[in-house]
Amino acid sequence: MARIFLETPRLILRDWQPGDHEPYVVMNADPEVMEFFPSTMTREQTMAQISRITGFIAGNGYGFFAVERKDNRQFIGFTGLSYVTFKSDFTPCTEIGWRLSKTNWGQGFATEAAEASLRYGFGHLGLKEIFSFTSVHNQRSENVMKKIGMQKMGTFEHPLVSDGSFVKEHVLYKIARDEKLL
Ligand SMILES: CC(C)(COP(=O)(O)OP(=O)(O)OC[C@H]1O[C@@H](n2cnc3c(N)ncnc32)[C@H](O)[C@@H]1OP(=O)(O)O)[C@@H](O)C(=O)NCCC(=O)NCCS
């Protein structure tokens, strides 16, 4: 049984299970899901990412949790917190992030899982502030940031994205612990 970290009315946020691997490989190979990333991901890249995510959760007690729907028990992607260390004027910091399969968009699942993740960060982990960032073109992701009460801090050039890339410029959002009712 995978460890359950968080539960919302419609979702379970839990540790990853072997059964999540194949649907996550398919998600990361979907050009629509990956529209605002430099590229889609190969099976090998996705498996390596799962190892990094699960290793981080095992070591830190939080991370990008696997998200499961309660109604059909399906794995639909991830939402959660991560520690970001690339070089910029706001790092190192804790980030909140999300990625769901296309058929699960437009139902409020990302926002529901993100709200629970913020409460976990501010409550259980005692964090003071949480950041989020995405390509300036990724309106759906920016909307989630706004809906969970984050404030726009500005834009920045993501140092890990190649110069000249369509997704180089990112919006940066932040929320402080005292802005969120625990
Ligand atoms: C970013 C992403 C997670 C957002 O997903 P999403 O489903 O649009 O986000 P939400 O969970 O907030 O759902 C909002 C939508 O659900 C609708 N909705 C339906 N039922 C709802 C409910 N019960 N509660 C809340 N919203 C509901 C809202 O009206 C809204 O629809 P709209 O976008 O047409 O206005 C998704 O687009 C994604 O995975 N993208 C690819 C990966 C990615 O870019 N990740 C971010 C990189 S930093």
pLDDT in tens, 126-164: 999 999 999 999 999 999 999 999 999 999 999 999 999
- Overall average pLDDT of the 36-58 stretch: 98
Residue 104, pLDDT above cutoff 90? yes
Nearest to 137 by CA among 38, 17, 66, 70: 38
- The CATH number for 42's domain is 3.40.630.30
Residue 9 is predicted with a pLDDT of 98
Residue 1 is predicted with a pLDDT of 80
Coil vs helix vs strand at 97 = strand
- Overall average pLDDT of the 24-35 stretch: 98
CB of 110 shorter than 6 A to ligand 1? yes
End-to-end, the C-alpha distance of the chain in Å comes to: 29
80, β-bridge pairs: 64, 97
- At residue 19 the predicted structure's pLDDT band, cuts being 50, 70 and 90, is very high
Residue 178, pLDDT above cutoff 90? no
Atom 22 of ligand 1 has which residue's CA nearest to it?
A: 108
Between the CA of 136 and the centroid of ligand 1 the distance, in Å, is 16
Atom 24 of ligand 1 has which residue's CA nearest to it?
A: 108
- Look at the chain and report how many structural domains it folds into: 1
CB of 11 shorter than 6 A to ligand 1? no
- At residue 67 the predicted structure's pLDDT band, cuts being 50, 70 and 90, is very high
Residue 181 is predicted with a pLDDT of 60
- Overall average pLDDT of the 86-93 stretch: 97
Range of the domain at 170: 4-179
Ligand 1 mutation target, pool 28, 107, 170, most atoms within 8 A of CB:
107
**Given CA atoms 120, 78, 114, 9 in this order, what sign does their dihedral have?**
negative
- The CA–CA distances, whole Å, from 115 to 71, 124, 126 equal 19, 13, 15
Residue 141 is predicted with a pLDDT of 98
**What does the longest C-alpha to C-alpha distance in the chain come to?**
45
- At residue 99 the predicted structure's pLDDT band, cuts being 50, 70 and 90, is very high
**Rounded to an integer, what distance in angstroms lies between the CA atom of residue 87 and that of residue 45?**
23
- Overall average pLDDT of the 77-85 stretch: 98
What average pLDDT is seen over the chain?
Answer: 97
Q: Tell me the two tokens of residue 23.
A: 């649907």
Residue 182 is predicted with a pLDDT of 53
